[in-house]
Chain A
Amino acid sequence: MPQPIYRIENLVHRYNSQPVLVVDRLEIEPASILGLVGPNGSGKSTLLKLMAFILRPTEGQILFDGMPAAPFDESVRFQVTLLTQEPYLMKRTVFKNIAYGLKVRGDRENWTKPVRDALAMVGLDPNTFSRRQWDELSGGEAQRVAMAARLVLRPRVLLLDEPTTSVDAASSELIRAASLRARSEWGTTLVIASHDREWLYDVCDEVIHLFKGKPAGTGRSNMIFGPWIPEDNGLCYKLLGDGRRLTVSAPPNADATAFIDPADIRILGKGEETATANTVSVDGTVTRLSLERQSGDLFADVRAGSLTLIVRVAESHLAAMTLHRGWPVTLAYRPDSIRWQ
């Protein structure tokens, strides 16, 4: 088994003495793709900045290639690069922005070819864009130039912090394609933080959920935020709109976050009772079916009012071919299977 490119041990990072990220242990294999999902403020960006050696952790250490590393260390300076959410460029031409990384590496060779190749990789015509100033680009173009500035370095690790959030669909697709090409052509390790779970589930070897600064499990999961309203029977519910309710076990507090494993939710068959002992149900509509690359499992996204629940599709449904997009379904689950944080 190859040595992990990253090993994070007992990492704690604090802002103003408040812990914002706590990771006991995390290992990332070379040339793998790791996804990070979680709500805003869950610590994704902080983790990526720590992994990019831009921040120094308050406690614990990050081992790169088995060696402890810190910001500006020669062992990591030219190995890891981070693309942030906002398309930020220096006040220079596109060419100089892309060539900057080569320049700081002391690369004296002709930069024209690598810069042109990097621009082409993100779908920008080198003849048109090379001489443009930083303020003569649209948001999507600026983010693609920023991506090209990373790709020209052929990094061993490319960290992407919600790289497609503030760009149009076409730019988003080009950035995604370019990042995957970096992995396939150069064996670049990718760590991607994104709210686009489907993309992550589709391309990642592993997806980690971050919640309130801590890893809260891997793979597909339903993370449902409060507030929760108590019922008379000791259970609680959340209003989903259209008169629907999501019933849950008693949360530790009214604003707690519920986690429901997609495997714990069942799509009821025709004629099955909507609720039996210890189970509750909610009606919804299938909006998407997707296949998980690693496990081969099929998952359905079911829209129930304002909430979309991910459900692992049972083999019986697969065999009967009873699921289609737009199909109304009833979901059943046991409230006591819900985890709280």
Chain B
Amino acid sequence: MDFILAGFIEAIRLLFGGDSQTWSAVAATVKVSSGSMVASLILGIPLGFVLGYFDFPAKRQARLLVDTALALPTVFIGLVVYAFISNRGPLGEMGLLFTLPGIAIGQTILALPVVTALSATAVESMDRHLRTLLISLGASRRQLLLSSLWEVRYGVLAAGLTAYGRVMTEVGISMMVGGNIKWHTRTITTAIALETGKGMFATGIALGLVLIAIAFSVNVCLSFLRKK
């Protein structure tokens, strides 16, 4: 038990002592997760709106596909992305393997179904009277779309937070596509896996605490926005 307690103490020392390796992993995580979240929100919110708002042929099948994609294993996404961006793959020339943008692509694929499916659910649960209200007040098609989206903002926010949780905590994509390269593509989760394997619990616990702290800060910021 002593080594766990020692781990916590070491964690605090690493964090507040400004350990450069730790902060390098934190920076990589924040960069890559921010990039993937921006991409998945830009793509996922309109897709979710279309899926939840409109009736079109094969809508049920599309929904089934998106819901299935919610359960995509991260190692499988890592494998597919690896295959595409490796030297032998169709996107090999872009040199994305073992880079942060490469990880971001994989994490976008991970987050996109979450944002899409949960946004679609939020839009589906939108009160049926909203459309009538907006049109009867004179909204154009564009205003109807934007105002409807604004009305389900809390649902979309929840979709984003859930996706963010998955992106922050995944290991498979970061490990396979990023390669866990020190000072370069090592993220918090891959560092924890590595340090634990080496028996360096203190660093692992420190990084775990950072991960929780980031998640907590994001949630605090969003709950403040929600109150406003």
Chain A residues close to B by CB (< 8 Å): 49, 52-54, 71-72, 77-78, 80-84, 86, 88-91, 100-101, 104-105, 146, 149-150, 153, 159
Contact = CB atoms under 8 A, between A and B. Distances in A.
B139 interface: yes
A47 to B, nearest CB: 14
B71 to A, nearest CB: 32
Given A90-B147, A90-B151, A91-B151, A52 B130 contact: no
B135 interface: yes
Given A88-B133, A104-B140, 17 more contacts: A52-B135, A52-B136, A54-B131, A54-B135, A72-B135, A78-B138, A81-B137, A81-B138, A82-B136, A84-B133, A88-B129, A88-B130, A90-B147, A90-B151, A104-B137, A105-B138, A149-B137
Contacts of B138: 77-78, 81, 101, 104-105, 153
A100 B151 CA distance: 13
Contacts of A89: 133
A84 B132 CA distance: 8
Contacts of A86: 129
A83 B133 CA distance: 8
Given A90-B147, A90-B151, A91-B151, A49 B132 contact: yes
27 contacts: A49-B132, A52-B136, A54-B131, A54-B135, A72-B140, A77-B140, A78-B138, A80-B136, A81-B136, A81-B137, A82-B132, A84-B132, A84-B133, A86-B129, A88-B127, A88-B129, A88-B130, A88-B133, A90-B151, A100-B147, A101-B137, A101-B138, A104-B140, A104-B143, A149-B137, A150-B137, A153-B137
Nearest to B139: A104
Contact of A53 (B131, B135, B151): B135
A83 B138 CA distance: 13
B104 to A, nearest CB: 33
Contacts of B130: 88, 90
A191 B130 CA distance: 21
The 8 closest A-B pairs by CB, nearest first: A88-B129, A82-B136, A101-B137, A54-B135, A81-B136, A104-B138, A78-B138, A77-B138
B198 interface: no
B137 A100 contact: yes
B144 to A, nearest CB: 8
